[in-house]
Amino acid sequence: MNPDFPNSWRFLLGRARHALSQDEQRIIEDMLEPVERVSHDRVILQDGDLVDRSTFLIEGFMARTIKRDGRRHIVSLHVPGDFVDLHAFALKRLDHTVVAIGPTKVAYVTHCHLEELLARHPHLGRMLWFSTLLDAAIHREWILTMEHLPIEGRLAHLMAELWYRLSLVRLGDEDGFNLPLTQVEIADACGTTPIHLNRVVRSLREAGIMELSRGRVTIFDRAKLERTGKFDPSYLYGEGALKLGQELSR
């Protein structure tokens, strides 16, 4: 943790935080208020509600969900350092619900504050826009994954992506990461049923690729995991072909 920026130090970490000046980092830290701890399954934002603030995830996990035909679908997952619903600043009403997964710590920033910030600090506004476009890149990859991969590949891709994203913000370990999602919630994210997912988890474990157990994802063979999920991390703008140097700096 950076003691100067205890709530916001993970924002764009591993991607483009270097493009933020110290003054801009201080502005982000100071605008995150109030800070709140919330419990598992707490609805932060209900679809269709009029929104006047956006949510920054400090600790834990959050999901965007959509209900169709009585079933919940998880359409994105968020890790610490993410602005979960910054796009609500422009849209005002969202077509999805935002919910906490496990205990989380969040901060809020009002849209009035954001409007003032964008007017006074255009470069910082561009960086906030960049963070929202990262969400769009992840959404595109999820669409491809859901369309082209079998369930084994979808699960492997999701786990590889989460491991990579968590590693960017210093929460991924050498052999895996902590994950509070239940198998029901993981099934919701992979577009399958819990029964089918359980079979797939067992298959990947027996293949010596990964294991899910008691809130922990253990990776036995990272190369196999990424091959199974056809995972290329470039779209996450960390390491890889799309890695940024000084392109976003002032």
Q: Got the DSSP string for 37-91?
A: EE-TT-EEE-TT-B--EEEEEEEEEEEEEEEETTEEEEEEEE-TT-BTTTTHHHH
Minimum mean pLDDT range among 2-6, 60-64, 175-179, 234-238: 2-6
Higher per-residue confidence, 13 vs 69: 13
Q: What is the Cα 197 distance to its own chain's centre?
A: 21
Whether residues 172 and 117 share a domain: the answer is no
Show Cβ contacts of residue 66 under 8 Å, excluding neighbours closer than 6 positions: 47, 72, 73, 75, 95, 96, 97
Q: How confident is the model at residue 30 (pLDDT cuts 50, 70, 90)?
A: very high
- Reported as a single tens digit per residue, the pLDDT across 60-97 is 999 999 998 888 999 999 999 999 999 999 999 999 99
Whether residues 51 and 122 share a domain: the answer is yes
Cβ atoms of residues 237 and 245 within 8 Å = no
DSSP 245: S
C-alpha pair distances (Å), 167 with each of 163, 193, 220: 6, 28, 16
How large a percentage of the chain has pLDDT more than 70? 100
- Reported as a single tens digit per residue, the pLDDT across 164-187 is 999 999 999 999 999 999 999 999
* Domain contains 200: yes
Structure tokens given for 78 = 């968020």
Number of domains in the chain: 2
Whether residues 108 and 199 share a domain: the answer is no
Local structure of 110: helix, strand or coil: strand
Whether residues 129 and 185 share a domain: the answer is no
Q: Across residues 141-159, what is the average pLDDT?
A: 95
Q: Report pLDDT for 239.
A: 83
Place of tokens 């035909």: 69
What is the domain range of residue 107? 17-135
Whether residues 42 and 103 share a domain: the answer is yes
Q: How confident is the model at residue 2 (pLDDT cuts 50, 70, 90)?
A: confident
Cβ atoms of residues 211 and 218 within 8 Å = yes
Rounded to whole angstroms, how far apart are CA atoms 13 and 5?
12
Which of 65, 76, 81 shows the shortest CA–CA distance to 20?
A: 81
Which of 34, 39, 181, 185 shows the shortest CA–CA distance to 100?
A: 39
Whether residues 125 and 180 share a domain: the answer is no
CATH number reported for the structural domain that contains residue 130 in this entry: 2.60.120.10
Amino acid at 208: G
How large a percentage of the chain has pLDDT more than 90? 90
Which of 165, 163, 39, 58 shows the shortest CA–CA distance to 102?
A: 39
Q: How confident is the model at residue 1 (pLDDT cuts 50, 70, 90)?
A: confident
Q: How confident is the model at residue 127 (pLDDT cuts 50, 70, 90)?
A: very high
Angle at 48 between CA 184 and CA 10, to 5 degrees: 60
Q: How confident is the model at residue 24 (pLDDT cuts 50, 70, 90)?
A: very high
Q: Which residues on neighbouring strands pair with residue 57, listed in sequence order? A: 106
